[in-house]
Chains A and B, each alone.
Chain A
Amino acid sequence: MHYTEGAIQAYLDGELGRDEAKRIKEHIYSCSNCKEIYDKLKANQDFAEDAFGRFDDIHVKGMAKIEKRRSFIDMLNKYKKGAIAAGGRDIHDIPTRTGGGTVISSDFQG
């Protein structure tokens, strides 16, 4: 029995449950076929992580900058107390995940 590329990739991305991840991990160490796929995917992943890591420190202005836009003024008037209007809440603090890290931000609804 072998795992698919997709399953091994999901393992690399931390997308699998603990039990399944453990099964794949153990399998990879005993199966040269899957180990080979894993090594290739891991090398590609490291490469991509490095390339996309060039965007890790992007500067985000946030929406307070566009107060002049009429539609946004309506919104500001409505939610003056809110964090967006005050600009007090720093947009840079919003958690994101890059690379193979853990998901910090909550899931989509639905």
Chain B
Amino acid sequence: MVLMCYISESGVRQIDGEVFKEIYEENYKRVCMAVHIMAGPDAEDVVQEAFIKLYNAPPTNIDNLPAWVTRVAINLAKNRIRSDSARRRRENGTLMEKAVYVDETALCHIERQAVRRALSRMKRRDAEVLVLKYSGYSYKEISQVLNIKKSSVGTIIARAQAKFKSLFEGGE
């Protein structure tokens, strides 16, 4: 692997531009997909935030930057969900109905919300495994993002999908 990070003249730790570009091109869309599934279409700014973080403040001692940026985006998306639901509670449930989901038609929005609702009732790890799987991550990549053993990914997916199905059917 080429040198990925260096210290700039001003003493700031930065990521190599070519490395950044490569990570961006290979991962941006699928990170968006994962965040979109979790938090909705207006959450792309958290993905941008994660990539800016990667550019401006790359992690030390982490050799797997795609896994890192995915992890950061997922955590930001989770915070977004939390703050959204707090706001919704404050505003008595009316906000979501009015939310500007410009990229989702009404029907599409309802169908996608049903998926998000089922996921929100699952254990965090199980929901994230499914989100990553259906955003195009391989078992190896899922294990790196979530810091779990690759050999247990199949079992987690098998159980998570069973749970997802029962929650989905019960809730729709």
Interface, chain A (partner B; CB < 8 A): 4-10, 13, 15, 40-41, 44-45, 47-49, 51-52, 54-55, 58-63, 65-66, 69, 71-72, 75, 78-79, 82-84, 89, 91-92, 94, 96-99, 103, 105-110
The interface bits of chain B over 24-50 (1 if a CB of A lies within 8 angstroms of the residue's CB, else 0) are 111111101100110001001100100
Give the residue of B48, B67, B135, B155 whose beta carbon is less than 8 angstroms from that of A108: B67
Q: Report the interface size class on chain B.
A: 35 or more
Interface, chain B (partner A; CB < 8 A): 1, 17, 20-21, 24-30, 32-33, 36-37, 41, 44-45, 48, 51-52, 55-56, 63-67, 103, 108, 111-112, 114-115, 118, 130, 133-141, 144, 151-159, 161-162, 164-165, 168
A60-B44, A109-B1 known; A96 and B159 CB under 8 Å? no
Let me know if A94 and B64 touch, CB within 8 A: no
A63-B51, A105-B26 known; A5 and B17 CB under 8 Å? no
Let me know if B25 and A83 touch, CB within 8 A: yes
**Residue from the set B26, B29, B159 with the largest chain A CB neighbour count within 10 Å:** B29
Give the residue of A44, A79, A105 whose beta carbon is less than 8 angstroms from that of B161: A44
Give the residue of A49, A58, A72 whose beta carbon is less than 8 angstroms from that of B52: A72
Chain A to chain B: the 10 pairs with minimum beta-carbon distance, closest first: A6-B155, A6-B154, A97-B136, A52-B134, A96-B136, A10-B154, A9-B158, A110-B64, A9-B154, A44-B161
Chain A residues near B26: list those with CB within 8 A.
Answer: 94, 105-106
Let me know if A58 and B41 touch, CB within 8 A: yes
Instruction: Return B160 CB to nearest CB of chain A, in Å.
Output: 9
Instruction: Return B163 CB to nearest CB of chain A, in Å.
Output: 9
Whole-angstrom distance between the alpha carbons of A88 and B165 in the complex? 41
Let me know if B157 and A91 touch, CB within 8 A: no
Chain A residues near B20: list those with CB within 8 A.
Answer: 75
Let me know if A48 and B164 touch, CB within 8 A: yes
Instruction: Return B156 CB to nearest CB of chain A, in Å.
Output: 8
Whole-angstrom distance between the alpha carbons of A52 and B111 in the complex? 10
A9-B155, A58-B41 known; A51 and B115 CB under 8 Å? yes
